[in-house]
Chain A
């Protein structure tokens, strides 16, 4: 018996490959078993990203941690674009040549310590030397205490195509600094977290670098406590990057805004479109306004958590609402009002990430329609009181109506992946959105991309059927957090167990 199937686009190998290029590793593993056509298309794609882990560890295919025999990897080396090294034992692998290798993710863990061995670093150095196509290097997070050897930095300085370096734990010897500068001078992206004391700027002792980073588009500068790097040196590093489009600055302490504002006023970064700052305790509303006024191009990313961001800054940000702002973090900013939050939701068309504070339910339901349909991450918490003193029944009815209206609005955010209504200010939980069926939860069935939901600090009375509904309807649910039943601890524990049994991570 012959099966007659209409020709589909899947019959064309270039289309199967194109679809495959959008699938992650796990889905490619599944696609390879669809039929013979898919098998041949997906096999080469699967070799694009290879993860090397110890075979002694738990092998869970669905978590894509597969250890690959040396000869098999050598055979397929020509297909590998990304290499993730999570084991310390694969020293021979570093001698393989990968003609199209682009990204190396280096985090070889040893059971006895979290430092990569000297051999592993040597291996990485060899790998970098013989694979000039490498453009991205990510040194994985580790609590390592030992700095990378000089030979490593020499190899980095010679690497012809290196564009991105991510080095979250950077311990560099004073004498190695010149090599570090040479290695980083042509980068487009530098993500670094300095842990050790070093000085950037003293030209007398030869530690000063080239001092201009002509190609750097994105700088993420984090300084750990104990690194003892002077504020002026941190600022100086940032001012040497005139082409910056995105800047993250997470210093080790709260500095006064003066020096940073000086840089802004001097238009140090004419192309800046994204700015995330931390430790902003001393930054007032006017200070943030100065910063925003200095960003002459679009403002696409603004992270000013725990700052004085208020009406003046809001005014300065407004022109960027419709066509600019994509990520906005105003969490823990006490001067941010409910009306501001409501205006953002109704005006920012491109918004993808938004964190703010308390929004009044009354303001929400009275606001114009939300246009932030692309929102992926949302963190706001709700004040459900409406200030009237009507009879209890009438109030309860009004509350339920208001709540459904809010749920309806949220249901329109079909791309939402992370939703938090957690109220960080409350020791004792307060009334918020009631996450139960019949109260409006069912309206959120449209949130098919939802990966996580947090509701700490809110009063909830969830029952088994409510949690089951969530687990059934939100297929991608990966994490939850909060207290589901404030009164019955036993029931709460049972619900947590039900959730974790389904493989969802739960934060109490």
Chain B
């Protein structure tokens, strides 16, 4: 019986990454793709993911490689983030954004949950103005719109 088969990925800059098949399968996108392509040694291009971010994503998937609960739906939104994951997310905002986008594109639900939870924790207990400042978001409400009672919406 052969060892894990390997997959070749190419980042947006053209950098090549070789990873084991079981790690690639953490991404639902890759999993489905590879089921079609099969074992042919073609590189899978990922034009939406840069090299550094792909490295980080692979790091996450490798660490959680043997996690039995990885693929099950994480419905418990109250579950807290564990230590390794907490450290993993201690990155600058730009990197965090790119990780969210990469997790979304590659369809890696646990990484999506982790990165979105991290952003949610940055929003916690902040006023709208503080949230805008944190994420450099422009307020596009007119003063009149801002005063409207939200209950009347919808």
B135 touches A8 (CB 8 A): yes
- Of B9-17, B22-30, B43-51, B112-120, the one contacting chain A is B112-120
Please state if A14 and B104 are interface contacts (CB–CB under 8 Å): yes
Contact B139 A5 (CB under 8 A): no
Task: Kindly supply a per-residue 1/0 record for chain A positions 40-64, scoring 1 wherever the CB is within 8 Å of any chain B CB and 0 otherwise.
Answer: 0001101100000000000000000
**Shortest Cβ distance from A46 into chain B, in angstroms?**
7
Residues of B within 8 A of A374 (CB): 80, 82-83
**Residues of A within 8 Å of B, CB-based: how many?**
43
Contact B125 A22 (CB under 8 A): no
In the complex, whether B123 has a CB less than 8 A from a CB of chain A is yes
A5-B138, A43-B154 are contacts. A34–B104 as well, Cβ < 8 Å? no
CB contacts (< 8 Å) of B128 on chain A: these are 30-31, 33-34
Interface string of B82-122 (1 = CB under 8 A from A): 11001000000000010011001000000011001101100
How far apart are the CA atoms of A66 and B127 in the complex, in Å? 19
Find chain B residues with CB under 8 A from A35 CB: 132, 137-141
Residue-wise, chain A 63-94 has the 8 Å CB interface mask toward B (1 for contact) of: 00010110010011000000000000000000
Bitwise interface map of A from 9 to 37 toward B, beta carbon under 8 Å scored 1, else 0: 11010110011111110110111111110
Given contacts A31-B123, A35-B140, contact A76 B100 (CB under 8 A): no
Give the shortest distance, in Å, between B141 (CB) and chain A (any CB). Answer: 7
Q: Cβ of B5 < 8 Å from any Cβ of A?
A: no
Q: Judge whether A12 and B136 touch: CB under 8 Å.
A: no
Say yes or no: is A262 at the interface (Cβ < 8 Å to chain B).
no
A30 to B136, CA, bound (A): 16
Q: Is the CB of B131 within 8 A of A22?
A: no
* Contact A27/B138 with A12-B104, A21-B77, A75-B154 known, Cβ cut-off 8 Å: no
Chain B residue, CB-CB nearest to A20 = B120
Q: How far is the CB of A75 from chain B (nearest CB, A)?
A: 7
Whether B144 is near chain A, meaning CB under 8 Å from some CB there, is: no
Answer whether residue B56 sits at the interface, using C-beta atoms and an 8 A cutoff: no
Residues of A near B104 (CB, < 8 A) are 9, 12, 14-15
- Check: B73 CB closer than 8 A to any chain A CB: no
Q: Does B126 contact A (CB under 8 A)?
A: yes
Q: Is B153 an interface residue (CB 8 A)?
A: yes
- Is the CB–CB distance between B137 and A22 below 8 Å? no
| B4 on interface, CB distance cutoff 8 Å | no
A74 to chain B, nearest CB (A): 12
- Residues in B neighbouring A463, C-beta threshold 8 A: none
- Residues of A contacting B116 with CB < 8 Å? 15, 18-19, 21-22
Query: B151: CB under 8 A from chain A?
Result: yes
Asked if residues A34 and B137 are in contact (CB atoms below 8 Å), the reply is yes
State which of B80, B86, B125 has its C-beta within 8 Å of the C-beta of A475.
B125
Question: B131, A31: Cβ atoms under 8 Å?
Answer: yes
Interface residues on chain B, size class: 35 or more
In contact, B119 and A19 (Cβ under 8 angstroms): yes
Q: Mark A280-300, 1 if CB is under 8 A from B, else 0.
A: 000000000000000000000
Pair B141/A30 contact, Cβ less than 8 Å: no
The proximity string for A residues 464-476 relative to B, scoring 1 for CB distances below 8 Å and 0 otherwise, is: 0000000000011
Tell whether, in the assembled complex, residue A414 and residue B123 are in contact, meaning their CB atoms are under 8 Å apart.
no
Shortest distance from the beta carbon of B118 to any chain A beta carbon, whole Å: 9
Q: Which residues of A contact B124 (CB under 8 A)?
A: 23-24, 27
Contact yes or no, B131 A415, CB < 8 A: no
Least CB distance, B105 to chain A, in whole angstroms: 10
In the complex, the chain A residue whose C-beta lies closest to that of B101 is A9
CA of A475 to CA of B126, assembled, Å: 11
For B86, list chain A residues within 8 Å (CB): 414-415
Neighbouring A residues of B154 by C-beta, 8 Å = 43-44, 47, 75-76
In the assembled complex, the Cα of A36 lies from the Cα of B125 at a distance in Å of 20
* Given A22-B77, A43-B153, A33 contacting B101 (CB threshold 8 A): no
A20: chain B residues at CB < 8 Å are 120
CB neighbours of B146 from chain A (8 A): 33
What CA separation (Å) do A430 and B146 show in the bound complex? Answer: 55
- Closest CB in chain A relative to B104 CB, distance in Å: 6
> Can you name the residue of chain A whose Cβ is closest to the Cβ of B150?
A32
Q: In whole angstroms, what is the CA distance A30 to B125 when docked? A: 9
Inter-chain CA distance A15–B135, complex, in Å, is 14
Question: Nearest B residue to A66 by beta-carbon distance?
Answer: B151
Tell whether, in the assembled complex, residue A27 and residue B125 are in contact, meaning their CB atoms are under 8 Å apart.
Answer: yes
Report the nearest B residue to A36, measured CB to CB: B140
Assess whether A310 is interfacial by the CB under 8 Å rule.
no
List of B residues within 8 angstroms of A21 by Cβ: 77, 116
Q: CB distance A415 to B120 under 8 Å?
A: no
Give the contacts of A319-344 with B (CB-CB under 8 A). Answer: none
Q: Which residues on the A side are within 8 Å of B138 (C-beta)?
A: 3, 5, 35
Instruction: Tell me if A43 and B101 are in contact (CB < 8 A).
Output: no
Q: Is the CB of B120 within 8 A of A19?
A: yes
Docked pose: A35 CA to B123 CA in angstroms: 14
Q: Which residues of B contact A10 (CB under 8 A)?
A: 135, 137
Does A373 sit within 8 A of B, measured CB to CB?
Answer: yes
Q: Which residues of A sit under 8 angstroms from B119, Cβ to Cβ? A: 19
Which B-chain residue is minimally distant from A476 (CB atoms)?
B125
On A, residues with C-beta under 8 Å from B are 3, 5, 8-10, 12, 14-15, 18-24, 26-27, 29-36, 39, 43-44, 46-47, 66, 68-69, 72, 75-76, 373-374, 376, 414-415, 475-476
A19-B123, A35-B132, A414-B86 provided; 11 other pairs, C-beta below 8 A? Answer: A5-B136, A5-B137, A8-B97, A14-B104, A15-B116, A24-B124, A30-B126, A33-B128, A35-B137, A36-B141, A72-B151
23 A-B interface contacts by CB (under 8 A):
A3-B138, A5-B136, A5-B137, A5-B138, A8-B135, A9-B97, A9-B104, A10-B135, A15-B104, A18-B113, A22-B120, A23-B123, A27-B126, A30-B127, A31-B128, A32-B150, A34-B131, A35-B139, A35-B141, A43-B150, A43-B153, A44-B154, A46-B150
